[in-house]
Amino acid sequence: MQDLKVLSPEEIKGLDEPRISPSQNQTDFSKKIYLESYGCQMNFADSEVVTSILMEQGYSTTSNIHEADTILLNTCAIRENAEQKIRHRLQSFKPIKAKNPHITVGILGCMAERLKTKLLEEEKIVDLVAGPDAYRDLPRLLEEIEDGNKAVNVFLSREETYGNIEPVRLHTNGVTALVSIMRGCNNMCSFCVVPYTRGRERSRDLDSILKECTSLFEAGYREVTLLGQNVDSYHWQNPETNQSINFAQLLEKVAQLTPELRVRFSTSHPKDITNDVLYTMSKYGNICKNIHLPAQSGNNRILDLMNRTYTREWYLERIHSIRQILGESCGISHDFIAGFCSETEEEHQDSLSLLEEVKYDFGYMFSYSERPGTPAEKKLADDIPEETKKRRLQEIIDLQRIHSAYRNQQMIGSIQRVLVEGDSKKSSAHHFGRTDNNKVVVFPKNDEMKGKFVDVKITHCTSGTLLGELIN
């Protein structure tokens, strides 16, 4: 899954690269699905739900596209570049479809929801279009296609949470897992398509979340990330007792399952993250001290145009509370958009000054990409030249890289509790894992320790990685 880090322009492009679902090695199943996932963590969690639904109907998955009866792309619509990647990918399927006309090609997720039946008209190769709330209907849709029809379901639900479906873990390292706690978004940020592609907020029931986390721990997982477009808006009311559960209470209940299970969450909205959440984090050692708090801009006029519903001053007050309650070592990451509609050079400098004041650990940084149907597209002119957007984005990236190095250097000499996730990408002689504040640590192996907590002394660092040695 995607980690929060400083992104170069090349790495930003890579966010939209697909993850291919591996084979489940169930060769007795006659129908095979090839599934690629793009975009955010929510999409990858959704792909695990899709796989579970289809395996219940007798499908298996394959990582070999030429073995597949059905090709599914779970898509992102957050930027134009993301959708263009999907269109290019569809073109590459044409020879496969020509060789086997009976193969089904389907588009799932946010791009499917945004374009709906237009996808069938614009991309003749597509047979199936299913939005994020239509995954239970996939078996029926696939049956329709077997009968010679095209199939579409882009109905947005006010109730669907997939809470009773046990996801099939894809791309798993067997150590960390995603747990979706809610769907949709009520924050109508002017630049964002999510409310239109994922619908309104609805929270998953508490019991199903606790059950999934417990099952994961019993299966050997040692870290869960609670996912939502805005986790701080989580609100579930028990229909039997009328007891209401907010996010701070949910976080506490997950932490209380066992102290050996680490708990993370993403994403928080600056207008909603409460001191109750921060005090709950400080109370439990197994709740990771790391918060992703998107800023998007450091200028109040731009924040107002974005409809972010907070000011720079409010945002900095939340940062102050995080540092005060959780300490200076708490990891804080961000989202920033460069070159939003009508942004002046002085307003861009306000974003840089916010970066300078907070000194984030890492972040996601993008230039503004106008999305059809959003309030910004309807009411605001996308009037910043691309070259200016790119230059401003690079300035944000460059400054963040300096701050990431600074924050990492502060950890040199400290001893960190690290959850070992597996071998380092660059060396099988080294393990890698993450600290409580979500920093990657690489250190020499000493036997097989995957899934274990170890103490590591930090000895060196780069802007993106800590290097260390095991402490016995």
Per-residue pLDDT tens over the stretch 391-428 = 999 999 999 999 999 999 999 999 999 999 999 988 88
Reported confidence tier of residue 373, pLDDT bands at 50, 70, 90:
very high
Best CA proximity match to 111, nearest among 12, 38, 13, 14:
38
**Cα(238)–Cα(30) distance, integer angstroms:** 41
Mean pLDDT of 81-100: 94
Is the confidence at residue 253, as pLDDT, over 60? yes
Give backbone dihedrals phi and psi of 98, rounded to 5 degrees, phi first.
Answer: -65, -35
Q: What is the mean pLDDT of residues 82-98?
A: 95
Q: Quick check: 331 and 438 in contact, CB under 8 A?
A: yes
Read off the pLDDT of each residue in 137-150 and give the average, rounded to a whole number.
Answer: 95
Task: With a cut of 70, say whether residue 1 has pLDDT above it.
Answer: no
Per-residue pLDDT tens digits for 268-285: 999 999 999 999 999 999
Q: Taking residues 155-161, what's their average pLDDT?
A: 95
pLDDT value, residue 22? 60
pLDDT at residue 21, rounded to an integer: 63
Residues 6+ apart with CB under 8 A from 98: none
Nearest to 212 by CA among 175, 257, 243, 173: 257
Distance from C-alpha of 85 to C-alpha of 77, rounded to nearest angstrom: 10
CB 306 within 8 A of CB 315: no
pLDDT band, very low/low/confident/very high, at 355 (cuts 50, 70, 90): very high
Helix ranges (H only) for 172-284 are: 194-198, 206-218, 247-255, 275-283
Residues 73, 106: contact at Cβ < 8 Å?
yes
> Distances in Å between the alpha carbon of 202 and those of 52, 193, 375, 381?
21, 17, 22, 32
Interatomic CA distance for residues 54 and 61, integer angstroms: 9
Over residues 326-330, the mean pLDDT reads: 97
Q: How far is CA 114 from CA 141, 452, 470, in A?
A: 19, 42, 49
In this prediction, residues 53-73 reach a mean pLDDT of 95
Residue among 224, 175, 170 at smallest CA distance from 51: 170
Does the pLDDT of residue 48 top 50, yes or no? yes
Question: What is the DSSP secondary-structure string of 60-78?
Answer: EE-S-GGG-SEEEEEE--S
Q: What percent of the chain has pLDDT over 90?
A: 90
Mean pLDDT of 150-171: 94
> Are the CB atoms for 305 and 342 separated by under 8 Å?
yes
For position 9, what pLDDT does the model report? 36
pLDDT of 14: 42
> What's the pLDDT at 28?
44
- Among 52, 225, 213, 13, smallest CA distance to 21 is for 52
pLDDT reading at 11 higher than 60: no
Residue 335 pLDDT more than 90? Answer: yes
CA angle 109/116/17 to nearest 5° reads 35
Answer yes or no: is pLDDT of 79 > 50: yes
CA atoms within 13 A on the CB side of 458: 22
- pLDDT score of 104: 97
Once rounded to an integer, what is the mean pLDDT over residues 173-187? 96
Residue range 2-28: average pLDDT? Answer: 44
pLDDT at 2 exceeding the cut of 80: no
**CB within 8 A of 33, min separation 6: which ones?**
21, 51, 54, 59, 60, 61, 62, 68, 69, 70, 71, 72
* Domains by residue range for the chain, with CATH: 9-153 (3.40.50.12160), 176-408 (3.80.30.20), 415-470 (2.40.50.140)
Average pLDDT of the segment spanning 205-211: 97
The rounded distance, in Å, linking the Cα atoms of 409 and 421 is 23
Average pLDDT, the chain: 93
Residue type, 51: T
How far apart are alpha carbons 44 and 52 in whole angstroms? 13
**What is the rounded distance in angstroms from the CA atom of residue 264 to the CA atom of residue 417?**
15
Residue range 288-304: mean pLDDT, rounded? 98
Rg (CA), the chain: 22
Statement: residue 3 has pLDDT above 70? no
Percent of the chain's residues with pLDDT above 70: 94
Q: What is the mean pLDDT of residues 360-388?
A: 97
Q: With b meaning 16 or more CB within 10 Å and e meaning fewer, what string describes 134-169? A: bbbbbeebbebbeeeeebbbbebbeebbbbebebbb
Helix ranges, 292-417 (H): 300-305, 312-326, 345-358, 375-379, 386-409
The pLDDT, as a whole number, for residue 26 is 42
d(CA 166, CA 168): 7
For the segment 447-472, what is each residue's pLDDT rounded down to a tens digit? 878 999 999 999 999 999 999 999 97
Q: Residue 122: pLDDT above 60?
A: yes
Residue 165 has pLDDT above 70, yes or no: yes
Question: What pLDDT is stored for residue 448 in this prediction?
Answer: 77
Of 468, 409, 466, 414, the C-alpha closest to 438 is: 466
What's the number of CA atoms in the CB half-sphere (13 Å) around residue 40?
17
